[in-house]
Amino acid sequence: MALNLTRLALLGLAVAALQSTLSQAQEAYPSRPIRLVVPFTPGGVTDSSGRLIAEALGRRLGQQVVVDNKPGASGNIGTAQAATAAPDGYTLLLAFDGTMVINPHVFAKVPFDTLKDFAPVGKIGAATLILVAHPDLPVKTLQDVIALSKTQALAYGTSGIGGTPHIAGEMLAQRTGARLEHVPYKGGGQAMIDVMGGSIPLVYTAVAGAQGHVKAGKLKAIVVSSAQRSSSLPEVRTVAESGVPGLSDFVVDSWVGLLAPARTPPAVLARLNAELNAVLAEPAVRERLALLGIDPTPGTAEQFRQQMQRDLAAYGAIVKAAGIKLD
């Protein structure tokens, strides 16, 4: 009996020691630099937002967050690499809506599963999208655009096939019956040049790239497709405010966030979410994100997971109806 009690006591001490070791290991996170995979080339808005968050997050965590650009296949290559990384909190992914919730529908096959292969850390923010027109186009409102399109098809330019602006345009056409013809460009810059030059009547793009031209009178703002009006162009109505029947729930913006490989420890994910939200509350970070056209959206990991789930379903239906394919 005494021997059994001794064994139980020793077992209890061993379990307590293991729990203490595990607790210390969790408390020590992170103990080395963290890699942030950005599945795009350096220099774009998505990459710039990732570098900003990496710098600020590193300060709070006490370890450097190193940006690792892994471009290719519209973000699929880097995203797949992040999905197969060790789930220990030392590899994160800069998640872009185009890659995570549109690519699975426009590519015949993608090398990752958005919901199964990743654990959400949190959403960083969303870039407001805006529909703009050449100043001479005889429209002022979204109703005008829809009415005019039913007398003559209207071309709208975007930064490319399968991007969020393309999805927004297709969704608008499908839900209103507007005759809108997509004109894809290799980036939004040339699309902006062509709409200002009169080659195309409309462009769907990010507010950040259009606001200066709108304020200068070179472009006419029609609507933004965010849930709230843009702080950069507060006089421009949202699609939901346009008065067009059936569009009261129309929201399409371009978001960016942080993901970790699936099975990353919950304690690590909770720490990362808390620190990300703290970073997004810093005035300097919010100001720099605003310059990139991104509105910070701190929140829970579960809220971010739910948005990805909703967008996967909604955008999948739009892509299927429009027949959008990239391979």
Q: How many CB atoms lie within 10 A of CB 163?
A: 24
* Nearby residues of 309 by Cβ (< 8 Å), 6 or more positions away: 115
Dist. CA 239–CA 225, nearest whole Å: 5
The phi, psi pair for 109, rounded to 5°, reads: -155, 135
Q: How many CB atoms lie within 10 A of CB 237?
A: 16
Dist. CA 153–CA 304, nearest whole Å: 37
Q: What is the pLDDT of residue 44?
A: 83
Place of tokens 């056409």: 173
Nearest to 94 by CA among 59, 120, 129, 56: 120
Domain boundaries 32-126+253-322, corresponding CATH code = 3.40.190.150
Q: Which CATH superfamily is domain 129-224 in?
A: Periplasmic binding protein-like II (3.40.190.10)
Digits of tens for pLDDT over the chain (327 positions)?
A: 444 444 544 444 444 444 444 444 445 899 999 999 999 999 888 899 999 999 999 999 999 999 999 999 999 999 999 999 999 999 999 999 999 999 999 999 999 999 999 999 999 999 999 999 999 999 999 999 999 999 999 999 998 999 999 999 999 999 999 999 999 998 788 899 999 999 999 999 999 889 999 999 999 999 999 999 998 899 999 999 999 999 999 999 999 999 999 999 999 999 999 999 999 999 999 999 988 889 999 999 999 999 999 999 999 999 999 999 987
Q: Using CA of residue 224, residue 212, residue 144, residue 234, what is the dihedral sign?
A: positive
**Two tokens at 80?**
């797949």
* Nearby residues of 12 by Cβ (< 8 Å), 6 or more positions away: none
Q: Do the two domains 32-126+253-322 and 129-224 of this chain adopt the same fold?
A: yes
Q: What is the pLDDT of residue 21?
A: 40
Domains of the chain by residue range = 32-126+253-322, 129-224
